[in-house]
């Protein structure tokens, strides 16, 4: 996360899982993954759009660059590598080149140039992190009831990425950084394949990485395509390693870190990695890789489209507006736009982290290539939202969080769930006029939760008396 603000997402692989001795094996065995997301390719799947000619029996170099050949190595060429004590420079170069050729073979796209691959220790990766967050960011995450006033959003994300990231590709630097859990540098083949897909995306569809002036919901949706493509190819890579490809075994997984109270933040951040591969698989089933390539010119605009692939591309979220009804004592932050749209994925994370979605619902997946289940009856009816933070001259903060729903029943269900989680999880006490007060703890504030048809509005302020100052009822 080098030099990145909280709002700028790098292309990273979160927590992976390794296994086995680190030697190339000619007879493959199943490789464990972090979830049940790796699925057998259905018989009805569309074949690869572009299939390169088989490599020659002697693995000689072609006269010109070919799909499935990179830097002197064919995709099915065996490597003389013993990685039990890590990889030296020549072994690393060979592994990177063959992995590039394999990514080409699976994805049907040609690399335009080789991408430098650096391997760093977990400690070094943490040292180079620079995640920042503003007071405006703090209010957005507090409105989601995922990061309270006892913690810093920047610290939460530094911990999350520092413990979970396995690798990253930074488009502006055109290089890959892989994290090794051992003192002797090692490479996880699935992480390498994933990050190489990002480099390939940058070379073929670079414009999709432009996320300036996008809402959080749209950024995550675009990540769903980007991370979904990379995750889908990496998982199909693993399937081939369990079949007809010889592969360097994956290194043992690191000990990982305990997320504790930050599991809700992890769930909110992980959604593109979970639903993205299933989204890309659905596109590929429709019209092969051509449909996936076309999506880069028309990327999804809301996490709802990635959670529910049938909504892409025709469905779109509703633009939610919040008129400024604050008194002179309160003001919006000096930024444009003044509000943030967090999307269905973040609303689901709020419900899950605060006990309104059963904990193990997340693991109840029925869709191929999907890691977790972000579909729930209380959040599926989401069609739009907006969070607008406020502040006053005394250094106090508040916000207005407005959500729009497909039906009045959906809106009522969310309003009931939100009031209930404030009472049961945050200890809120009822007051008159749809007002609840959390008397103590990291979310100690006053909340006014109202529903008007398909719209639910939550107003937050330090005290009941100040609710009208933030947003008149």
SS (H, E, C) 328-364: CCEEECCCCCCCECCHHHHHHHHHHHCCCCCHHHHHC
pLDDT over 90 at 133, yes or no: yes
DSSP state of 312: T
Is the Cβ–Cβ distance between 259 and 338 less than 8 Å?
no
What is the per-residue pLDDT for 259?
Answer: 67
This prediction's pTM: 0.89
Q: How confident is the model at residue 14 (pLDDT cuts 50, 70, 90)?
A: low
Give the burial string for 213-246 (b: 16+ CB within 10 Å, else e): eebbbbbbbbbbbbbbbbbbbbbbbbbbbeeebe
pLDDT over 70 at 164, yes or no: yes
Residues 6+ apart with CB under 8 A from 395: none
DSSP state of 57: T
What is the per-residue pLDDT for 78?
Answer: 93
pLDDT over 50 at 35, yes or no: no
More confident residue, 51 or 48: 51
In whole angstroms, give the CA distance from residue 314 to residue 25: 46
Q: How confident is the model at residue 254 (pLDDT cuts 50, 70, 90)?
A: low
The structure tokens 């259905």 sit at: 42
Identify the H or E element spanning 167: strand 167-170
What is the per-residue pLDDT for 16?
Answer: 34
Cis peptide before 337 (omega within 30 of 0): yes
Cα Rg, the chain, nearest whole Å: 24
Is the Cβ–Cβ distance between 380 and 411 less than 8 Å?
no
Written as one string, the DSSP assignment of 242-272 is: TTT--EEPPPPPP-----GGGHHHHHHHHHH
Q: How confident is the model at residue 171 (pLDDT cuts 50, 70, 90)?
A: confident
Is the Cβ–Cβ distance between 75 and 55 less than 8 Å?
yes
Question: Around Cβ 431, how many Cβ atoms within 10 Å?
Answer: 14
Distance in Å from the first CA to the final CA of the chain: 42
Is the Cβ–Cβ distance between 217 and 53 less than 8 Å?
no
pLDDT over 60 at 157, yes or no: yes
pLDDT single digits (tens) 390-437: 999 999 999 999 999 999 999 999 999 999 999 999 999 999 989 999
Residues 6+ apart with CB under 8 A from 84: 21, 22, 23
Please state, in angstroms and as integers, the Cα–Cα distance from residue 186 to each residue in 15, 32, 82, 116, following that order.
16, 18, 11, 16
pLDDT single digits (tens) 193-223: 999 999 999 999 998 888 888 999 999 999 9
pLDDT over 90 at 140, yes or no: yes
Is the Cβ–Cβ distance between 399 and 387 less than 8 Å?
yes
**Edge-first strand listing for the sheet containing 429-431:** 330-332, 382-392, 397-405, 455-461, 446-452, 435-437, 429-431
What is the per-residue pLDDT for 24?
Answer: 33
Is the Cβ–Cβ distance between 117 and 176 less than 8 Å?
yes
Q: Nearest-CA neighbor of 139 among 422, 338, 426? A: 338
pLDDT single digits (tens) 345-376: 999 999 999 999 999 999 999 899 999 999 99
What is the per-residue pLDDT for 54?
Answer: 63
pLDDT over 50 at 226, yes or no: yes
User: Mean pLDDT of all residues in the chain?
Assistant: 88
Tokens of 88: 């030296």
Span 447-469, average pLDDT: 98
More confident residue, 52 or 63: 63
pLDDT single digits (tens) 73-101: 999 999 988 777 778 889 999 999 999 99
Listed by start position, the domains of the chain span 11-311, 330-470
pLDDT single digits (tens) 313-352: 999 999 999 999 999 999 999 999 999 999 999 999 999 9
Least confidently predicted of 83-92, 232-241, 387-396, 440-449: 83-92
Taking the CA atoms of residue 267, residue 272, residue 275 and residue 278 in that order, the dihedral angle to the nearest 10 degrees is -160
In whole angstroms, give the CA distance from residue 104 to residue 52: 9
In whole angstroms, give the CA distance from residue 356 to residue 350: 8
Half-sphere exposure of residue 169: CA atoms within 13 angstroms, side-chain side? 25
More confident residue, 32 or 101: 101
pLDDT over 80 at 36, yes or no: no
pLDDT over 60 at 28, yes or no: no
Is the Cβ–Cβ distance between 190 and 250 less than 8 Å?
yes
Q: How confident is the model at residue 255 (pLDDT cuts 50, 70, 90)?
A: low
């Amino acid at each position: 996360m080098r030099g990145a603000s909280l709002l700028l997402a790098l292309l990273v692989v979160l927590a992976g899982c390794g296994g086995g001795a680190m030697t190339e094996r000619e007879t493959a065995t199943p490789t464990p993954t972090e979830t049940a997301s790796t699925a057998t390719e259905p018989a009805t799947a569309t074949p690869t759009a572009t299939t390169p000619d088989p490599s020659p029996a002697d693995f000689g170099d072609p006269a010109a660059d070919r799909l499935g050949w990179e830097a002197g190595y064919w995709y099915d060429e065996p490597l003389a590598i013993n990685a039990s004590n890590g990889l030296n420079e020549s072994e690393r170069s060979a592994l990177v080149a063959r992995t590039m050729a394999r990514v080409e073979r699976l994805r049907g796209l040609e690399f335009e140039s080789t991408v430098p691959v650096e391997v760093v220790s977990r400690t070094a990766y943490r040292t180079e992190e620079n995640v920042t967050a503003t007071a405006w960011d703090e209010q957005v995450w507090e409105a989601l009831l995922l990061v309270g006033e006892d913690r810093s959003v920047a610290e939460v994300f530094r911990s999350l990425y520092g413990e979970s990231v396995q690798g990253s590709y930074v488009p502006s630097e055109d290089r890959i950084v892989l994290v090794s859990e051992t003192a002797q540098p090692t490479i996880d083949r699935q992480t390498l394949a994933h990050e190489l897909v990002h480099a390939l995306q940058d070379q073929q569809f670079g414009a999709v990485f432009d996320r300036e002036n996008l809402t959080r919901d749209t950024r995550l949706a675009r990540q769903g395509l980007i991370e979904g493509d990379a995750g889908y190819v990496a998982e199909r890579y693993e399937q081939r390693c369990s079949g007809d490809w010889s592969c360097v075994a994956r290194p043992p997984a690191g000990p990982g870190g305990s997320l504790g109270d930050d599991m809700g933040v992890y769930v909110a951040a992980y959604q593109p990695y979970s639903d993205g591969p299933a989204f890309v698989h659905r596109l590929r089933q429709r019209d092969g890789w051509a449909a996936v390539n076309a999506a880069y010119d028309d990327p999804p605009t809301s996490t709802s489209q990635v959670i529910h692939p049938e909504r892409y591309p025709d469905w779109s979220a509703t633009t939610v507006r919040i008129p400024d009804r604050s008194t002179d004592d309160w003001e919006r932050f000096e930024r444009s736009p003044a509000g943030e749209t967090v999307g269905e994925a973040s609303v689901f994370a709020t419900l899950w982290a605060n006990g309104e979605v059963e904990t193990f619902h997340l693991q109840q997946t029925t869709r191929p290539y999907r890691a977790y289940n972000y579909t729930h009856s209380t959040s599926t009816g989401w069609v739009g939202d907006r969070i607008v933070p406020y502040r006053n001259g005394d250094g106090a903060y508040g916000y207005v969080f407005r959500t729009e729903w497909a039906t009045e029943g959906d809106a009522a269900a969310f309003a009931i769930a939100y009031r209930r989680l404030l009472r049961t999880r945050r200890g809120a006490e009822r007051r008159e006029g749809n007002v609840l007060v959390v008397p103590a703890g990291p979310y100690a504030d006053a909340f006014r939760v109202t529903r008007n048809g398909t719209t639910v509005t939550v107003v937050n302020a330090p005290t009941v008396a100040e609710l009208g100052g933030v947003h008149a009822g």
